[in-house]
A = this chain, B = another copy of it.
Amino acid sequence: MKRIGILTSGGDAPGMNAAVRAVTRVAIANGLEVFGIRYGFAGLVAGDIFPLESEDVAHLINVSGTFLYSARYPEFAEEEGQLAGIEQLKKHGIDAVVVIGGDGSYHGALQLTRHGFNSIGLPGTIDNDIPYTDATIGYDTACMTAMDAIDKIRDTASSHHRVFIVNVMGRNCGDIAMRVGVACGADAIVIPERPYDVEEIANRLKQAQESGKDHGLVVVAEGVMTADQFMAELKKYGDFDVRANVLGHMQRGGTPTVSDRVLASKLGSEAVHLLLEGKGGLAVGIENGKVTSHDILDLFDESHRGDYDLLKLNADLSR
Q: Using a CB–CB distance below 8 Å, which chain A residues touch chain B?
A: 8, 11-12, 14, 16, 21-22, 25-26, 28-29, 54-55, 58-59, 61-66, 69-71, 134, 140, 143-145, 147, 149-161, 164, 179-180, 182-185, 211-214, 243, 245-255, 257-259, 261-262, 265-266, 269, 288-290, 310, 313, 316-319
* The 3 A-B residue pairs with the shortest CB-CB distance in the complex, in nearest-first order: A152-B253, A155-B253, A288-B288
Complex CA distance for A25 and B65, rounded to whole angstroms = 25
Complex CA distance for A115 and B269, rounded to whole angstroms = 51
Residues in B with CB closer than 8 Å to A310 are 262
CB atoms of B214 and A69 under 8 A apart: yes
With contact pairs A54-B319, A255-B151 given, residues A184 and B26 touching in the complex (Cβ less than 8 Å): no
Complex CA distance for A265 and B243, rounded to whole angstroms = 27
Complex CA distance for A150 and B147, rounded to whole angstroms = 16
Complex CA distance for A25 and B29, rounded to whole angstroms = 40
With contact pairs A145-B152, A151-B62, A262-B179 given, residues A269 and B316 touching in the complex (Cβ less than 8 Å): yes
Query: Interface majority SS on A: helix, strand, loop or mixed?
Result: helix
Complex CA distance for A246 and B71, rounded to whole angstroms = 24
Query: How near does chain B come to A146, taking the closest CB pair, in angstroms?
Result: 8
Contact of A259 among B21, B140, B250 (CB under 8 A): B140
Residues in B with CB closer than 8 Å to A246 are 245-246, 248
Complex CA distance for A164 and B180, rounded to whole angstroms = 25
Number of copies: 4
The contact sample of 22 A-B pairs, CB cut-off 8 A, is A8-B159, A12-B156, A25-B318, A54-B319, A58-B185, A62-B184, A64-B152, A65-B155, A71-B160, A140-B259, A149-B250, A152-B250, A152-B251, A152-B252, A152-B253, A153-B248, A155-B253, A243-B249, A245-B249, A245-B250, A265-B313, A266-B313
CB atoms of A254 and B55 under 8 A apart: no
Question: Which of A66, A149, A255, A310 has the most C-beta atoms of chain B within 10 angstroms of its own C-beta?
Answer: A149
CB atoms of B180 and A258 under 8 A apart: yes
Residues in B with CB closer than 8 Å to A63 are 155
CB atoms of A213 and B249 under 8 A apart: no
**Nearest-CB residue, chain B, relative to A251:** B152
Complex CA distance for A128 and B317, rounded to whole angstroms = 25
Question: Which of A22, A250, A257 has the most C-beta atoms of chain B within 10 angstroms of its own C-beta?
Answer: A250
CB atoms of A59 and B158 under 8 A apart: yes
Residues in B with CB closer than 8 Å to A29 are 316
Residues in B with CB closer than 8 Å to A143 are 258
Complex CA distance for A28 and B318, rounded to whole angstroms = 11
Residues in B with CB closer than 8 Å to A212 are 55
Question: Which of A55, A134, A152, A180 has the most C-beta atoms of chain B within 10 angstroms of its own C-beta?
Answer: A152
Question: Which of A12, A59, A249, A289 has the most C-beta atoms of chain B within 10 angstroms of its own C-beta?
Answer: A249
